[in-house]
Structure 1
Protein backbone atom coordinates (compact mmCIF):
# COMPACT_ATOMS: atom_id res chain seq x y z
CA UNK A 1 0.00 0.00 0.00
CA UNK A 2 2.85 2.37 0.88
CA UNK A 3 4.51 1.66 -2.45
CA UNK A 4 1.34 2.45 -4.37
CA UNK A 5 0.87 5.70 -2.46
CA UNK A 6 4.48 6.71 -3.00
CA UNK A 7 4.26 5.86 -6.71
CA UNK A 8 1.03 7.84 -7.02
CA UNK A 9 2.56 10.90 -5.33
CA UNK A 10 5.63 10.71 -7.57
CA UNK A 11 3.47 10.32 -10.68
CA UNK A 12 1.29 13.29 -9.74
CA UNK A 13 4.42 15.33 -9.06
CA UNK A 14 5.71 14.56 -12.53
CA UNK A 15 2.40 15.46 -14.17
CA UNK A 16 2.32 18.93 -12.66
CA UNK A 17 3.08 21.59 -15.25
CA UNK A 18 6.51 23.09 -14.83
CA UNK A 19 6.44 26.85 -14.55
CA UNK A 20 9.37 29.17 -14.65
CA UNK A 21 9.47 32.90 -14.57
CA UNK A 22 10.75 34.59 -17.64
CA UNK A 23 14.24 35.90 -17.07
CA UNK A 24 15.41 39.02 -18.78
CA UNK A 25 18.81 39.17 -20.36
CA UNK A 26 21.04 41.65 -18.65
CA UNK A 27 24.20 42.64 -20.41
CA UNK A 28 27.10 43.27 -18.09
CA UNK A 29 29.69 45.69 -19.39
CA UNK A 30 33.21 44.29 -19.48
CA UNK A 31 35.73 46.47 -17.74
CA UNK A 32 39.37 45.76 -18.38
CA UNK A 33 41.74 47.33 -15.95
CA UNK A 34 45.12 48.03 -17.40
CA UNK A 35 47.72 47.01 -14.88
CA UNK A 36 50.62 49.32 -14.38
CA UNK A 37 53.89 47.86 -15.57
CA UNK A 38 55.76 46.37 -12.67
CA UNK A 39 59.03 47.83 -11.46
CA UNK A 40 62.07 46.08 -12.93
CA UNK A 41 65.14 45.86 -10.69
CA UNK A 42 68.42 44.97 -12.41
CA UNK A 43 71.82 44.70 -10.77
CA UNK A 44 74.97 44.53 -12.87
CA UNK A 45 78.31 44.77 -11.10
CA UNK A 46 77.59 47.50 -8.56
CA UNK A 47 75.09 49.44 -10.68
CA UNK A 48 71.42 49.20 -9.73
CA UNK A 49 69.03 49.96 -12.60
CA UNK A 50 65.35 50.55 -11.90
CA UNK A 51 62.86 50.57 -14.80
CA UNK A 52 59.14 51.38 -15.08
CA UNK A 53 59.14 53.66 -12.07
CA UNK A 54 57.15 56.84 -11.67
CA UNK A 55 58.88 60.19 -11.74
CA UNK A 56 59.00 61.48 -8.18
CA UNK A 57 58.90 58.05 -6.51
CA UNK A 58 61.16 57.66 -3.50
CA UNK A 59 63.89 55.06 -4.00
CA UNK A 60 65.41 53.50 -0.89
CA UNK A 61 68.09 50.87 -0.44
CA UNK A 62 68.14 49.28 3.02
CA UNK A 63 70.58 46.82 4.54
CA UNK A 64 69.25 43.61 6.10
CA UNK A 65 68.91 45.38 9.45
CA UNK A 66 66.55 47.91 7.87
CA UNK A 67 69.00 50.80 7.99
CA UNK A 68 68.64 53.12 4.99
CA UNK A 69 71.94 53.26 3.10
CA UNK A 70 70.75 55.04 -0.08
CA UNK A 71 67.80 57.35 -0.69
CA UNK A 72 66.93 59.18 -3.89
CA UNK A 73 63.92 60.60 -5.76
CA UNK A 74 63.28 59.29 -9.26
CA UNK A 75 63.84 61.95 -11.90
CA UNK A 76 62.87 59.66 -14.82
CA UNK A 77 61.25 56.28 -15.45
CA UNK A 78 64.68 54.61 -15.65
CA UNK A 79 67.19 55.31 -12.90
CA UNK A 80 70.77 54.05 -12.49
CA UNK A 81 72.34 54.12 -9.03
CA UNK A 82 75.98 53.28 -8.35
CA UNK A 83 76.12 51.19 -5.17
CA UNK A 84 79.44 51.57 -3.37
CA UNK A 85 78.41 49.24 -0.56
CA UNK A 86 79.93 46.18 1.05
CA UNK A 87 78.83 42.86 -0.46
CA UNK A 88 75.68 41.39 1.05
CA UNK A 89 71.91 41.38 0.83
CA UNK A 90 69.95 44.61 0.49
CA UNK A 91 66.30 45.61 0.18
CA UNK A 92 65.22 47.99 -2.59
CA UNK A 93 62.00 49.96 -2.08
CA UNK A 94 60.46 51.99 -4.90
CA UNK A 95 57.10 53.45 -3.96
CA UNK A 96 55.13 50.43 -2.73
CA UNK A 97 57.33 47.87 -4.52
CA UNK A 98 59.93 45.96 -2.49
CA UNK A 99 62.66 43.72 -3.93
CA UNK A 100 65.67 41.89 -2.47
CA UNK A 101 69.08 42.13 -4.14
CA UNK A 102 72.41 40.43 -3.52
CA UNK A 103 75.49 42.60 -3.96
CA UNK A 104 78.70 40.67 -4.66
Structure 2
Protein backbone atom coordinates (compact mmCIF):
# COMPACT_ATOMS: atom_id res chain seq x y z
CA UNK A 1 0.00 0.00 0.00
CA UNK A 2 3.04 2.29 0.30
CA UNK A 3 6.23 2.90 -1.67
CA UNK A 4 9.27 4.49 -0.03
CA UNK A 5 12.20 5.86 -2.00
CA UNK A 6 15.79 6.69 -1.08
CA UNK A 7 18.27 9.15 -2.58
CA UNK A 8 17.16 12.39 -0.90
CA UNK A 9 17.61 13.87 2.59
CA UNK A 10 14.38 12.08 3.63
CA UNK A 11 12.53 8.90 2.77
CA UNK A 12 9.80 9.93 0.34
CA UNK A 13 6.73 7.73 0.92
CA UNK A 14 3.97 7.46 -1.70
CA UNK A 15 0.47 6.03 -1.07
CA UNK A 16 -0.66 3.20 -3.36
CA UNK A 17 -3.97 2.41 -1.64
CA UNK A 18 -6.30 2.46 -4.64
CA UNK A 19 -6.29 1.75 -8.37
CA UNK A 20 -4.92 5.20 -9.26
CA UNK A 21 -1.79 4.71 -7.16
CA UNK A 22 -0.19 7.99 -6.07
CA UNK A 23 -1.81 10.14 -8.77
CA UNK A 24 -3.11 13.37 -7.24
CA UNK A 25 -1.78 12.52 -3.77
CA UNK A 26 1.10 14.25 -2.05
CA UNK A 27 3.96 12.09 -0.75
CA UNK A 28 5.14 12.15 2.84
CA UNK A 29 8.72 12.97 3.76
CA UNK A 30 9.95 10.92 6.71
CA UNK A 31 13.17 11.23 8.67
CA UNK A 32 14.45 14.50 7.19
CA UNK A 33 18.18 14.88 8.00
CA UNK A 34 21.36 16.44 6.66
CA UNK A 35 22.42 13.05 5.24
CA UNK A 36 21.22 11.18 2.15
CA UNK A 37 18.85 8.22 2.55
CA UNK A 38 20.57 5.10 1.16
CA UNK A 39 18.15 2.31 2.15
CA UNK A 40 14.49 1.92 3.12
CA UNK A 41 12.54 -1.11 4.33
CA UNK A 42 8.92 -1.34 5.44
CA UNK A 43 7.98 -3.34 8.52
CA UNK A 44 6.06 -6.44 7.38
CA UNK A 45 3.10 -5.93 9.74
CA UNK A 46 3.05 -2.31 10.95
CA UNK A 47 3.10 1.10 9.27
CA UNK A 48 6.75 1.62 10.15
CA UNK A 49 9.63 2.25 7.78
CA UNK A 50 13.30 1.69 8.61
CA UNK A 51 15.55 4.30 7.02
CA UNK A 52 19.31 4.00 6.56
CA UNK A 53 21.49 7.03 5.80
CA UNK A 54 24.81 7.81 4.13
CA UNK A 55 26.37 8.53 7.54
CA UNK A 56 25.43 5.12 9.02
CA UNK A 57 22.42 6.22 11.07
CA UNK A 58 19.33 3.97 11.10
CA UNK A 59 15.97 5.47 12.02
CA UNK A 60 12.54 3.87 12.49
CA UNK A 61 9.57 6.08 11.57
CA UNK A 62 5.91 5.34 12.31
CA UNK A 63 3.82 6.63 9.40
CA UNK A 64 0.66 7.20 11.45
CA UNK A 65 2.15 10.08 13.45
CA UNK A 66 5.75 10.57 12.25
CA UNK A 67 7.22 9.33 15.54
CA UNK A 68 10.92 8.47 15.22
CA UNK A 69 13.13 5.97 17.06
CA UNK A 70 16.91 6.08 16.67
CA UNK A 71 18.01 2.49 15.98
CA UNK A 72 21.71 3.17 15.24
CA UNK A 73 23.92 6.22 15.73
CA UNK A 74 25.90 7.54 12.75
CA UNK A 75 29.34 6.13 11.98
CA UNK A 76 31.21 3.49 9.95
CA UNK A 77 29.93 4.65 6.55
CA UNK A 78 26.72 4.40 4.53
CA UNK A 79 23.96 1.90 5.29
CA UNK A 80 23.93 -0.56 2.37
CA UNK A 81 21.32 -3.09 3.55
CA UNK A 82 18.15 -3.19 5.67
CA UNK A 83 15.91 -6.23 6.11
CA UNK A 84 13.10 -7.08 8.54
CA UNK A 85 12.42 -10.59 9.80
CA UNK A 86 9.13 -12.11 8.60
CA UNK A 87 7.35 -11.26 11.86
CA UNK A 88 8.97 -7.82 12.15
CA UNK A 89 10.60 -8.58 15.48
CA UNK A 90 14.14 -8.07 14.15
CA UNK A 91 15.82 -5.60 11.81
CA UNK A 92 19.13 -6.50 10.20
CA UNK A 93 21.33 -3.68 8.93
CA UNK A 94 24.61 -3.66 7.04
CA UNK A 95 27.06 -0.91 6.15
CA UNK A 96 29.43 -0.50 3.20
CA UNK A 97 32.33 -0.80 5.66
CA UNK A 98 31.31 -4.38 6.48
CA UNK A 99 29.83 -3.50 9.87
CA UNK A 100 26.45 -5.09 10.56
CA UNK A 101 23.95 -5.44 13.35
CA UNK A 102 20.70 -7.02 14.41
CA UNK A 103 18.11 -5.00 16.29
CA UNK A 104 15.61 -7.05 18.30
CA UNK A 105 12.31 -5.34 19.01
CA UNK A 106 9.77 -6.20 21.72
CA UNK A 107 6.67 -8.09 20.63
Relative to the length of structure 1, the TM-score reads 0.28
Q: Say which structure is richer in strand.
A: 2
Q: Which has the larger radius of gyration?
A: 1
Q: Say which structure is richer in helix.
A: 1
